[in-house]
Amino acid sequence: MTIAEKALFITDTLNQLYPQTPIPLQHTDPYTLLIAVLLSAQCTDERVNKITPLLFARAHTPQEMVQLSVAEIEDIIRPCGLSPRKSKAIHQLSQILIDQHQGQVPQSFEELEALPGVGHKTASVVMSQAFGVPAFPVDTHIHRLATRWGLTNGKNVEQTEKDLKAIFPPDMWNTLHLQIIFFGRQYCPARSHRAQNCPICSVVATTM
Is the separation of the CB atoms in 152 and 160 below 8 Å?
A: yes
Three-state secondary-structure class, residue 138:
coil
- Catalytic annotation on 121? yes
- d(Cα 132, Cα 151) in Å, to the nearest integer? 25
From the list 6, 86, 139, 163, the catalytic residue is 139
- Catalytic annotation on 139? yes
Is the separation of the CB atoms in 117 and 86 below 8 Å?
A: yes
Environment class of 4 (CB within 10 Å of its CB; exposed 0-12, middle 13-18, buried 19+): exposed
CA 136 to chain centre: 9
- d(Cα 44, Cα 25) in Å, to the nearest integer? 10
Q: Among 115, 137, 110, which Cα is nearest to 126's?
A: 137
Orientation angle between helical segments 3-17 and 157-167, nearest 10 degrees: 90
From the list 12, 75, 99, 121, the catalytic residue is 121
- d(Cα 182, Cα 81) in Å, to the nearest integer? 23
Q: What residues are labeled active site?
A: 121, 139
